[in-house]
Structure 1
Amino acid sequence: MNKVTRFFWFCSGANFSLLKRAPTDSNKYFGIGGTIFFTGLLATVSAGYALNTVFQSLWYAVGFGVVWGLMIFNLDRFIVSSMRKRDKSWSEWKMAIPRIIMAVILALVISKPLELKIFEKEINRKLDEKKALMIAQSKESLKNGFTEINELEVQKDSLKADLATATMYRDRLQQEYDYERFGTKTDGTSGIVGLGANAKKKEQQLDAAQASLDVLAKGHQARIDNIDAEIQRFMGLREAEFSKLQPNIDGFDGLAARIDALSVLTGESKAMEMANLMIILLFIAVETAPIFVKLISPRGPYDELLDLAEKGVQVYADEQTVKLVKESEWRLRTFSS
């Protein structure tokens, strides 16, 4: 337990020898040191997650996360240890304002990656929606870039329309021929049953139309096959272009993209906005807690001993300065006489 206490004293930036002589302040600096330590620990986890998102490497994330956590720990320790309890509270608050601003900035930096982790599922869903939209936009852009496919489709439809017209003409002649054979009376048939002169004439027209349709179908089908081959070739080129864009779309889950997705989510949902705000305020409270503890707590024995130690150093320095000056003056008088 003694080692744990000394460790948290170290985290608070307190002087061990002076704090041992002021046991009533032990718990205060134990709590301040614990807050600073766990803030550094949270900073390590936060930076590790953020860097893992950037580098996609566990070792890089752990290494840089530890370095970042130690830097935040050291900075927090310096901010708290550099504060002094004086008799003038307003002077203390003026000195604390820059430190509070810095602590708030650190809290915002530390909290952001952890916010991304807390809302990871919602962010992933929003990123999937964004990726789907990007895929649709990319395909539409590539579609507009390959106008040859649309032109070939128009040519293909035109050939099919010619075939359909010829087929309809053949079918109409077939119907008239059948009406003529079976004696169905219409504006174009005689109504006499059997293969008479009119029926043979209709048959000749039908044969000619069928022969013409066969020739047209053979020629058009060959052209349609060629057009289909060209369409497939252009579609292959279009897919190749899209495959170049696909990795960028699949990789759209970096730190900036996640921060943007979180911003969109908090704008869409009041509940998420409040939850996000509560997380930020929590980290600000944790980060600024040691500073406010020092500000609102009264002067204790440790502060008196610290002032005494600093005063002793100042008095000793003044004494040594006077001593050096006097010795210098004596030597000057000796040399000049």
Structure 2
Amino acid sequence: MKKITQFFWFCSGAYAPLLNRTPTETHKYVGIGGTIFFTGLLASLSAGYALFTVFQSVWIAIAFGLLWGLMIFNLDRFIVSSMRKRDHAWSEWKMAIPRLIFAVLLAVVISKPLELKIFEREINRKLDEKKMEMITQSKEAIKEGFKEIKGLEAKKDSLRSEVAAAVAFRDKLQQEYDYERFGTKTDGTSGIVGLGSNAKKKEQQLDAAQKELDVLRAGHQIRINEIEKEIKNLNSLSQLEFEKRQPNIEGFDGFAARIDALQVLGKESDAIRWANVFIMLLFVALETAPIFVKLISPRGPYDELVDLAEMKVQVYAKEESTKTYVRSERNLEVFKTANQI
């Protein structure tokens, strides 16, 4: 327990030998040191997660997270330890304002990656929606770059339409021929059963239409096969282009993308927006707590001992400087006497 207390004293920036002489001040500086330590720890976790989303490497995230946490810890320790309790409250507040502003900035920086981790599932869902939108946009853009496919598809449909029209014409002649053979009366048939002159005439028309259809179908099929082959090649090129873009789309989950997704979620949901605000306020409270404790707490025995120690140093420095000055004057007089100057 004693080692933990001394560790938190170190975190608070207090001088342990003086604190040992002021038992009433120990708990205050243990609390201040604990707040500084856990703020640095949270900063380390926050930076580690942020770097993991960037580099996707556990070791880089751990290394940078520890470095960032130590830096925040050192800054907080310096901010708190540099504040001194005086008898002038207004001057203390004026000295504290820049420190408070800096502490708030640190709190905002620390809280943001942790907000991203807290709302990770919602952010992933929003990123998936964004990826689907990007895939659709990418495919549309690729289609615009391969407009020839639409033209070729139109040509192929036109050729098939011509074949379909020829088939329909052949089927119509086939129907008229059948009606003529079986004596079905229509506007274009005689209504006489048997293979008469009209039936033979329609049979000739049917044979001619069938031959034209066979020739047309064979020729158009060759052209359709060529068009389909060309379309297949263009589709392969467009697929290659999409595959080039796909890794960038799949990798759209970096730190900036997550912050943007969190901002969109905040606009869509009041609950998430207020949760973000309260999380940030929590870190602001944690970061500024040691400073406010220093400001609102009364001047204690530890502050008196610190002032006394500083005064001893000042008195000692003044005495030494006076002795040095007197010694220098004496040596100067001896030199003048010896040289009869």
CA distance in 2, matches of 1:317, 1:112: 48
Residue by residue over 1:183-238, the C-alpha shift from the partner in whole angstroms, topping out at 9 and shown as x without a partner, is 12222111111111001100110011011101110111111111111111100000
Q: Which amino acid aligns with 1:181?
A: R
Q: Separation in 2 of the partners of 1:221 and 1:141? A: 31
Q: Give distance in 1, aligned partners of 2:125 and 2:311.
A: 62
Aligned pair count reads 337
Gaps (5+ residues) in structure 1? none
The answer to whether structure 1 residue 214 and structure 2 residue 214 are counterparts is: yes
- Offset of 1:104 from its aligned partner? 0.5
Matches within 5 A, 1:33-72: 33-72=33-72
Q: Offset at 1:138? A: 0.3
Deviations 1:3-35 (A, max 9, x none): 000000000000011101111000000000000
Partner of 2:73: 73
Q: Distance in 1 between matches of 2:262 and 2:23?
A: 47
1:307 pairs with 2:318: no
Displacement of 1:327 after TM fit?
Answer: 1.2
User: C-alpha deviations, 1:261-294, integer Å up to 9, x for none?
Assistant: 0011101111100000000000000000000000
Aligned to 1:186: 186
Q: Which amino acid aligns with 1:160?
A: R
For 1:123-169, what per-residue CA distance to the aligned partner results, in whole angstroms no more than 9, with x for missing partners? 00000000000000000000010011111101101101110111111
Partner secondary structure for residue 299 of structure 1: coil
Match of 1:140 in 2: 140
The answer for the alignment partner of 1:228 in structure 2 is: 228
The root-mean-square deviation of aligned C-alpha atoms, in Å, is 0.7
The corresponding residue for 1:264 is: 264
Q: Structure 2 CA distance, aligned partners of 1:35 and 1:314?
A: 33
Distance in 2 (alpha carbons) for counterparts of 1:164 and 1:53: 58
Q: Residue 23 of structure 1 corresponds to which residue in structure 2?
A: 23
Looking at structure 2, the residues matched to 272 and 16 of structure 1 have their Cα atoms a distance apart, in angstroms, of 44
Partner residue of 2:131?
Answer: 131
- 1:229-258 Cα deviation digits (max 9, x unpaired): 111110000000100001000000000100
Deviation at 1:178, TM superposition (A): 1.1
Q: Quote the Cα distance in structure 2 between the aligned partners of 1:153 and 1:239.
A: 17
Structure 1 runs of 4+ with >6 Å offset: none
Tell me which residue corresponds to 1:159: 159
The match for 1:281 is 281
Question: Share of identical aligned residues, percent?
Answer: 71
2:98 and 2:334 mapped to 1: Cα distance? 53
Please say if 1:7 is aligned against 2:2: no
Query: What is the distance in 1 between the residues matched to 2:325 and 2:130?
Result: 76
Distance 2:297 2:71 in 1: 27
Q: Could you tell me how far 1:57 is from its partner in structure 2?
A: 0.5
Deviations 1:66-115 (A, max 9, x none): 11111110110000000000000000000000100111111111111100
Unaligned runs of 5+ in 2: none
Query: Could you state the TM-score of these two structures normalised by the residue count of structure 1?
Result: 0.99
Alpha-carbon offset, residue 318 of structure 1 = 1.0
Cα distance in 1 for partners of 2:104, 2:25 equals: 26
Using the TM superposition, name which of 258-267 and 326-335 deviates more.
Answer: 326-335
Which letter does structure 2 place at the counterpart of 1:184? T
Q: Distance in 2 between matches of 1:97 and 1:230?
A: 72
Per-residue deviation, 1:332? 1.6
Tell me, in whole angstroms, the C-alpha distance in 2 between the residues paired with 1:41 and 1:186. 96
Report the residue type matching 1:171 in the other structure.
Answer: D
**Letter paired with 1:220:** H
Match of 1:329 in 2: 329
CA distance in 2, matches of 1:325, 1:282: 56
